[in-house]
Amino acid sequence: MYVDDGININASWTEHIAVSTDNVNWELINKKGLSIMPRFLATQSQGAILNNSADTRISLKSESGETKVDFECDKIINQTTWNGRTKAALQVAVSDIAGWL
């Protein structure tokens, strides 16, 4: 998945966040009234090997509370600083998106 400030994809998309599954076809999400809902959920499973992981998810919601897009930060290909499943990477994603808004 790809997520970016619309203006970085097309100069006329100043009021949108752009989302794509293939880096070719883009869905535009209007920035007006969007809120960022981050989630950091650490999980730990025990078995033969102790395995720690985390879910670093962001939802962008409209003023009415409708989820416009929801994604796992670690799966965003074009935003490598969002990857890593850490609180720090999640904070970078939130900061970047807040700057776009």
pLDDT tens by residue, 31-69: 999 999 999 987 665 555 545 567 899 999 999 999 999
CA distance 82 to 84: 7
Rounded (5°) CA angle 61-100-82? 80
Q: Are 58 and 73 in contact (CB under 8 A)?
A: yes
Domain containing 34 equals 2-100
Counted domains in the chain: 1
pTM value is: 0.87
pLDDT score for 41: 85
CA distances from 19 to 4, 15, 22, 33, 48 (A): 7, 13, 9, 17, 39
Structure tokens at 52: 């720690």
